[in-house]
Structure 1
Amino acid sequence: MSGIVGYVGKRSSQQILIDCLMHLEYRGYDSAGLAISNGNEIEMRKEKGRIQDLEASIQLDPILKGTLGIGHTRWASHGTPSALNSHPLTDNKENYYVVHNGIIENYRQLRKVLITEGYTFLTDTDTEVIPHLLAKYDTGDLKETVRRVLPMLQGSFALAIMSKTQPDTIIGISQENPLILGYGDGEAFLSSDISALLSYTKEIYPIKNNEIAVLTPTTITIQTIGGESVTPVKSLIEWDEEEITLQEHDFFMLKEITEQPKAIKQTLAGRLTASSVSIPELDTFFEQFQMESFRKVDIVASGTSYHSGMIGKKIIEQMLSIPVEVSISSEFSFEHGLLDDQTLVIVLSQSGETADTLSALKEAKAHGAKTIAITNKKRSNIARKADCMICTNAGPELAVPATKAYTCQMTALILLAIALSEKVSGPGNKMTPDMLEALKELPNEVEKCLIMTQDAIDKFAQVTDDQDHLFLIGRGLDYVLALEGALKLQEVAYLHADAYAAGEIKHGTMALFTPGIPVIALATQAHLREKTISNIREIKARDAYVVGITTIGDESVAEVVDEVLYIPEAHAFFMPILAAIPLQLLAYYAGTVRGYNVDRPRNLAKSLTVE
Structure 2
Amino acid sequence: MCGIVGYIGPKPVVPVIVEGLRRLEYRGYDSAGIAVAGNSAGLELRRAPGKLVNLEAVIAANPISGTFGIGHTRWATHGRPTEENAHPHRDCTGSLVVVHNGIVENYLALKHELTARGHIFVTETDTEIIAHLIEQELADAAKNGKQNNGRHSERSEEPPHFANDATNIPLEEAVRRTVHRLTGAFAIGVLSAHEPNKLVAARMGPPAVIGLGDGEFFLASDVPGILHHTRNIHFLADGELAVLTPHGVTLTDFDGHPLHLKIQRIQWDPIQAEKAGYKHFMLKEINEQPRAIRDTTLGRISLDTGKVFLDNLQITEQEFKQATQISIAACGTSWHAGLAGKFMIERLARLPVDVDYASEYRYRDPISDPAAIGLLITQSGETADTIAAQRELIAKGSKTLAICNVVGSAVTREAQGTITTNAGPEIGVASTKAFTAQLTALFVLALHLAQVRGTITADQSLRLVDELSKVPSKVEDVLRSVDLQCQELAKVFHTANDFLFLGRGIHYPIALEGALKLKEISYIHAEGYPAGEMKHGPNALIDETLPVVTIATKDPNDPSSVLKYEKTLSNIQEVTARSGRVIAIAIEGDEEIKHLVEHTIQIPQAPELLLPILEVVPLQLLAYHIAVRRGCDVDQPRNLAKSVTVE
Normalised by the shorter chain, which TM-score bucket?
Answer: over 0.9
Give the counterpart of 2:411 among 382, 387, 408: 382
Q: 1:421 to 1:429 in 2, by over 3 A?
A: farther
Equivalent in the alignment of 2:434: 405
Matches for 1:23-38 after TM superposition, within 5 Å: 23-38=23-38
One-letter identity of the residue aligned with 1:35:
A
Equivalent in the alignment of 2:94: 94
One-letter identity of the residue aligned with 1:543:
S
One-letter identity of the residue aligned with 1:57:
V
Deviating 4+ runs (over 6 angstroms): none
Matches for 1:124-203 after TM superposition, within 5 Å: 124-138=124-138, 139=141, 140=167, 141-203=170-232
Give the counterpart of 2:240 among 211, 225, 228: 211
Matches for 1:598-609 after TM superposition, within 5 Å: 598-609=634-645
Displacement of 1:392 in angstroms is 0.5
Q: 1:480 to 1:219 in 2, by over 3 A?
A: closer
* Structure 2 CA distance for aligned equivalents of residues 388 and 609 of structure 1: 22
* Structure 2 CA distance for aligned equivalents of residues 277 and 452 of structure 1: 33
* Structure 1 CA distance for aligned equivalents of residues 545 and 566 of structure 2: 24
Report if the CA contact (8 A) 1:318-1:427 is conserved.
no
Equivalent in the alignment of 1:589: 625
Q: Deviations over 1:1-33 (max 9, x none)?
A: 011110001111001100000000000000000
* Structure 2 CA distance for aligned equivalents of residues 378 and 598 of structure 1: 27
Equivalent in the alignment of 2:478: 449
Report if the CA contact (8 A) 2:205-2:645 is conserved.
no
Displacement of 1:194 in angstroms is 0.7
- 1:509 aligned onto 2:538: yes
SS of 1:146 mapped into structure 2: helix
Q: Structure 1 vs Structure 2: percent identity of aligned residues?
A: 41
Equivalent in the alignment of 2:576: 540
* Structure 2 CA distance for aligned equivalents of residues 262 and 491 of structure 1: 24
Indicate the larger mover: 415-424 or 255-264. 415-424
Give the counterpart of 1:279 among 309, 322, 333: 309
Q: Deviations over 1:272-302 (max 9, x none)?
A: 1122343343543226x61122111111100
Displacement of 1:427 in angstroms is 4.6
Q: 1:503 to 1:211 in 2, by over 3 A?
A: closer
Give the TM-score normalised by structure 1: 0.97
Equivalent in the alignment of 2:45: 44
Displacement of 1:467 in angstroms is 1.1
Q: Deviations over 1:72-116 (max 9, x none)?
A: 010011111111111111112223200001122222221221122
Q: What is the total number of aligned residue pairs between the two structures?
A: 609
Equivalent in the alignment of 2:60: 59
Report if the CA contact (8 A) 2:349-2:447 is conserved.
no
Equivalent in the alignment of 1:496: 525
SS of 2:311 mapped into structure 1: helix
Equivalent in the alignment of 1:257: 286
* Structure 1 CA distance for aligned equivalents of residues 39 and 239 of structure 2: 27
Equivalent in the alignment of 1:337: 366
Equivalent in the alignment of 1:110: 110
SS of 2:198 mapped into structure 1: strand
Gaps of 5+ in 1: none
Displacement of 1:431 in angstroms is 4.0
Indicate the larger mover: 428-437 or 127-136. 428-437
Matches for 1:543-554 after TM superposition, within 5 Å: 543-554=579-590
* Structure 2 CA distance for aligned equivalents of residues 78 and 431 of structure 1: 54
Structure number with larger C-alpha Rg: 2
Give the counterpart of 2:391 among 345, 349, 362: 362
Report if the CA contact (8 A) 1:36-1:69 is conserved.
yes
Matches for 1:559-570 after TM superposition, within 5 Å: 559-570=595-606
Equivalent in the alignment of 2:83: 83
For the aligned residue pairs, the C-alpha RMSD in angstroms reads: 1.5
Indicate the larger mover: 214-223 or 150-159. 214-223
Report if the CA contact (8 A) 1:101-1:159 is conserved.
yes
* Structure 2 CA distance for aligned equivalents of residues 227 and 576 of structure 1: 50
Report if the CA contact (8 A) 1:418-1:428 is conserved.
no
One-letter identity of the residue aligned with 1:316:
I
Q: Deviations over 1:392-426 (max 9, x none)?
A: 00111000010000000000000001111122143
